[in-house]
Amino acid sequence: AASVEVDISSVTEGMSLTVKWRGKPIFIRNRTPKEVGDAKDTALSALKDPIARNANLASDAQATDLARSAGEGKENWLIMIGICTHLGCIPLGESGEFGGWFCPCHGSTYDTAGRIRSGPAPENMFIPPYAFLSDTQIKIG
Ligand code: FES
């Protein structure tokens, strides 16, 4: 299976990088403390999709911010497939009512953890399989 290695050393706090994996855009975001805090402060009961959709976790893991992020100590990193779960458009970053992503096709909005919050999309944006090879190198797939 094709995997890609990405150097994330240039992705400083508040910055994002988009790479391709299996023909799909992968959003790699180094979230600010405010973005992480906003997502943590969101009750699971407020979520439209309560499942983490994280290929690295159990399929029924809940969509906490920690479960959406790269995990303990790396919660600033959000790495996800940048495809709207409605009909597959590519959402725009740092946009929308919840400060995350906005899909221009039919108006779905995602929060700072990439979780669907309003609009027609049914599910959170998916988290691909990935691993940190070092603090500055990740392998996707
Ligand atoms: Fe994103 Fe329809 S494809 S809202």
**Which pLDDT tens digit goes with each residue over 39-89?**
999 999 999 999 999 999 999 999 999 999 999 999 999 999 999 999 999
> Which pair of tokens denotes residue 20?
């391709």
Q: Report the nearest-CA residue for atom 4 of ligand 1.
A: 106
Would you say residue 9 has pLDDT above 80? yes
Q: Residue 11: CA atoms inside 13 Å, Cβ hemisphere, count?
A: 22
- pTM for this structure? 0.97
Q: Nearest Cα to 119, choosing from 134, 133, 95, 103?
A: 103
| Sequence-distant (≥ 6) Cβ neighbours of residue 2 within 8 angstroms | 21, 22, 141
Which SS3 state, helix, strand or coil, does residue 138 take?
strand
Q: What is the pLDDT of residues 78-132, one digit of tens each?
A: 999 999 999 999 999 999 999 999 999 999 999 999 999 999 999 999 999 999 9
| Active site residues per annotation | 106
Position 1 pLDDT exceeds 70 = no
Report how far ligand 1's centroid is from the alpha carbon of 83 (Å): 9
Assess whether the C-beta atom of 114 lies below 6 angstroms from ligand 1. Answer: no
Alpha helices in the chain, H assignment, sequence order: 33-40, 65-68
